[in-house]
Structure 1
């Protein structure tokens, strides 16, 4: 007879992935404990801290990161906006994620894309990267489930391949809500760029366009990063709340330090520390690791023992490896007419002429997006420092706010074994837990994509009759963490199987974007959410927790 346990399922991490799984399991009557390293945050406090901060959006940091972050920086969960992440590779992987209840979706741009069928067969079609162990058709119903759970608004019938043709990718159900209407900026840019064969695509996103569950319709506040002030945008705390309403338990400010397994491979428990340094242990029949793409592998690798000297789930030596992201470049333009960016959400209009095709043998797929932001405080500070005051300041601010544009490109990257996350051997946090150390690089394949992207930038400037102010090719990070606990059918070169189940430990599952074998060029959150719902279904109907 099994010994008594604390819960049927323990979920490590309270972001969107952990929240979705917890909600499905709790609704099915299962006992669930969610363990989160960080604290609960209150929307009104984050909004006020943002409004009161002297650091607003900057030209070099469009998402209000760095010292201006309004989210907590606590000794037991140091902010990723400081020097928490240790960079040792040739390219800085300057990702930023939140360690709070609800996770990084608090500050994400809310773009919620499906991958297209060929993204699942990158190696067999184009000789690059890895294939998934299953195809788009397997995940398609779960994409629909995820869109409903996250309340996605989008344009039905839109060709998301960027070719201006028939609806793509295939869908078995419409979007839950209609898409947001395009602003004047988007309409004007679309008219000008279409002359060069660039077809506008409006991003599916997690902003409500009508009252949805407990969310109001988007009011266009334009500070989705760092926080939606009215909760029209989805964030993971919403599913945590729903899980708690159905009986799940939440332990916040509980930093998991190790996962334990017996000699037969069964996970037997986890150990966590509270901010005061006290250590505690929890047991369950099944465990779901949903701590995102850096904390998840760091925890697995840190869970060493004489039986598992390389850490948990790591017989393949693939834990922490194959780190992917959407390393990108950007361009600032000055228009010769007023186009007024800043109306509506921070992201919506994209161009996808290079989303898929035979070119992927030679260079990666990529997305070009319009950053719909207006860093007025930066403009004003710079002008005042130059001595521009009074009427001249008003005039200059009008021009900069109405005509300055920023375009950014997100490039697909490949799962490279050398790109990896490791626990630091020299630096620890206040609880004595090693900091994450990251080695990251890009190859000639990425640089070939950059060459193509710069051609598009030049064409954009020409079609828009705009002056190029700056082009930044310094490996910009898009905060899309993928690949560090990679999925595959072969236990020798992957961490989890097609069901997101550890090859080494049958009662351990890993949820989220870290299991993805390929990155595509699109934001990965919806794919991670679809995988998480599929995982919850597997737990309930196949594993029968």
Structure 2
């Protein structure tokens, strides 16, 4: 009996960093690969020019201006997350921002690429909170190293990333591919002043090249990493998509997947997608990877209903879309009593991790405090003009605020709660007739306990810095770190994928990305997602060889 002809060995849905990494591994192994991306291909020149010519620049402190200033496309078939695309129905808003373009959200991410630490994998067994992973840090350690090489990470070897100022942590078998970026005057001054209170500086591992790396030049210190690195020194997912295409993979952009087909025996057989003109198209493959990030992936699975699968694909557990996590945070603006000159170098690099781990996690979550190294001059000017400050006084005040205004932000770990979820809207649809994502999100007393601890740190910071607190915002700020909606576990009854990210229900489909993570830690999840994706690709190739 002949095997039915398929369009590709592997179909990958999503062209972000995870989809690109897996596509490269598949193509290197000689597999035929089709990558589908809902959005268009964009060029760096186009995005940089649109950003530079915008009357409003991106602002990390003003979400309204950030939305207005976004230089990325917003065509009708993929409404921008900077608008009202995400339908909020919970008590706490989850206004996350992600990009539906070739290369995905890493185009405008802050470039933080952290490893989790060993205790992050054992949150429940150690602290009675959340879930444990089905494996520990040791299992992922070598994949972290491979991911750091693939993404070209720069960092400080021998640094204690626990924030305690001790020996190197977490354990590493390989050094960083590149040395860390040099510190600025601001970072050195804060290190001295906050160090008097026992706050140990940690320099953030990141995806900026500190020497020529592949086709990437050395970081030139541009301060608009968000929304776009103008010289491509910062990693973004389009780089792996380009490499996958050079290796023979085929990319279909503006292809919005809206249905996944599965046979009665559980095998995924094909996908349906729409083009911007509404036309419908069908593709088949032997193996499938869903890498559409933590909102679109569960939405697609839940939309893919049929008589055999009335609750959607990969959802026999009922867990698809549930356990939505993020780093819901707070922030503080202060006015220093001396010039410290923020804005030199990349947007974020210095963090404080005194509460990254410890027995306190039984009572309140881990968190990190980061220094936002930005100078939102447009915000300052608009506020001053609104107050009637003009002329030479306006110029002098802009200069003062630019030299002395600082913003500190806290990212709190959140827990996987079944009620926090993503579902397809039953009433709202986009231009193609596809349901919008509906999000229910909340936080518990555990998060609020962390907030109270964080506010204490804010006040200590202000005292040590001899700074005036201008404002503290505790209104559940979103950090754009989506996790947990297709959660990993050994038990098919309470998880969506197994320890290799293969769906429990479908032997030929894997889910890639941060949506599989059982815990959030307090650190940016991109590197963990990348390590999991490389491990997934290895397991997938072994499975293909054995079949």
TM over 0.5: yes
Q: Which residue of 1 aligns with 2:120?
A: 119
Shift, 1:63, TM fit: 10
Q: Would you say the 8 A contact 1:302–1:423 is kept in 2?
A: yes
Q: Which residue of 2 aligns with 1:136?
A: 137
Q: Which residue of 2 aligns with 1:441?
A: 442
What SS does the aligned partner of 1:397 have?
helix
Q: Would you say the 8 A contact 1:57–1:377 is kept in 2?
A: no
Matches within 5 A, 1:146-545: 146-544=147-545
The farther-off stretch of 29-38 and 389-398 is 389-398
Residues paired across the two proteins, number: 545
**Stretches of 4+ moved more than 3 A in 1?**
57-60
The farther-off stretch of 522-531 and 1-10 is 1-10
Distance 2:235 2:350 in 1: 19
- Cα displacement string for residues 126-149 of structure 1 (whole angstroms, at most 9, x for unaligned residues): 000000000000000000000000
Distance 1:519 1:208 in 2: 27
1:61 counterpart = 2:62? yes
Q: Would you say the 8 A contact 2:62–2:379 is kept in 1?
A: no
- Cα displacement string for residues 443-495 of structure 1 (whole angstroms, at most 9, x for unaligned residues): 00000000100000010000000000000000000000000000000000000
Distance 1:382 1:312 in 2: 50
Shift, 1:397, TM fit: 1.2
Q: Would you say the 8 A contact 2:10–2:285 is kept in 1?
A: yes
Shift, 1:387, TM fit: 3.0
Q: Which residue of 2 aligns with 1:107?
A: 108
Distance 2:218 2:387 in 1: 41
Distance 1:78 1:270 in 2: 22
Shift, 1:541, TM fit: 2.2
Distance 1:82 1:116 in 2: 35
Shift, 1:381, TM fit: 2.3
Superposition RMSD in Å? 1.0
Q: Which residue of 2 aligns with 1:93?
A: 94
What SS does the aligned partner of 1:65 have?
helix
Q: Which residue of 2 aligns with 1:75?
A: 76
Distance 1:479 1:360 in 2: 23
- Cα displacement string for residues 292-326 of structure 1 (whole angstroms, at most 9, x for unaligned residues): 00000000000000110000000000000000000
What SS does the aligned partner of 2:196 have?
helix
Structure 1: runs of 5+ lacking an equivalent: none
Shift, 1:64, TM fit: 6.0
Shift, 1:54, TM fit: 1.2
Q: Would you say the 8 A contact 1:146–1:526 is kept in 2?
A: yes
Distance 1:122 1:63 in 2: 36
Q: Would you say the 8 A contact 1:63–1:226 is kept in 2?
A: no
Shift, 1:385, TM fit: 3.1
Shift, 1:394, TM fit: 2.0
Distance 1:59 1:305 in 2: 43
Distance 1:255 1:460 in 2: 47
Distance 1:174 1:521 in 2: 23
The farther-off stretch of 533-542 and 423-432 is 533-542
Q: Which residue of 2 aligns with 1:40?
A: 41
- Cα displacement string for residues 55-87 of structure 1 (whole angstroms, at most 9, x for unaligned residues): 113463379631211000011111010000000
Q: Would you say the 8 A contact 1:414–1:518 is kept in 2?
A: yes
Shift, 1:89, TM fit: 0.1
Shift, 1:379, TM fit: 1.2
Distance 2:160 2:62 in 1: 31
Shift, 1:389, TM fit: 2.7
Distance 2:363 2:404 in 1: 35
Q: Which residue of 2 aligns with 1:6?
A: 7
Shift, 1:392, TM fit: 1.6
Distance 2:29 2:211 in 1: 29
CA distance 1:65–1:392, change in 2 (3 Å)? closer
Distance 2:58 2:239 in 1: 26
Structure 2: runs of 5+ lacking an equivalent: none
Distance 2:245 2:264 in 1: 34
Q: Would you say the 8 A contact 2:342–2:373 is kept in 1?
A: yes
Distance 1:435 1:252 in 2: 20
Distance 1:358 1:62 in 2: 35
What SS does the aligned partner of 2:354 have?
strand
What SS does the aligned partner of 1:521 have?
coil
Shift, 1:514, TM fit: 0.2
